[in-house]
Amino acid sequence: MRHKFLGTGEPGFHPLRKLRTIGSGLRYAVIYDFSVAWKLVFSLCVLIAALFARAWVDALLIVVVTALVLVAEIMNSAIEALCDFVETRHNEKIGIIKDIAAAGVGIAMFAWLLVLGFEVEEMLRALF
Render pLDDT for 33-67 as a digit per residue (tens, 0 to 9): 888 899 999 999 999 988 888 888 888 999 999 99
Res 12: pLDDT: 64
Indicate whether 27 and 47 sit together in one domain.
no
DSSP per-residue codes, 9-63: S-SS--HHHHHHHHHHHHHHHHHH-HHHHHHHHHHHHHHHHHHHTT-HHHHHHHH
What is the per-residue pLDDT for 39?
A: 92
| Residue 74 and residue 16 share a domain | no
Q: Please say whether the beta carbons of 22 and 28 come within 8 A.
A: no
Distance CA 95, CA 128 (A): 48
Are 27 and 39 part of one and the same domain? no
Provide the domain count of the chain.
2
Same domain, 58 and 2: no
> Within 13 Å of residue 46, how many CA atoms lie on the same side as its CB?
27
pLDDT 10s digits, 113-127: 999 999 999 888 888
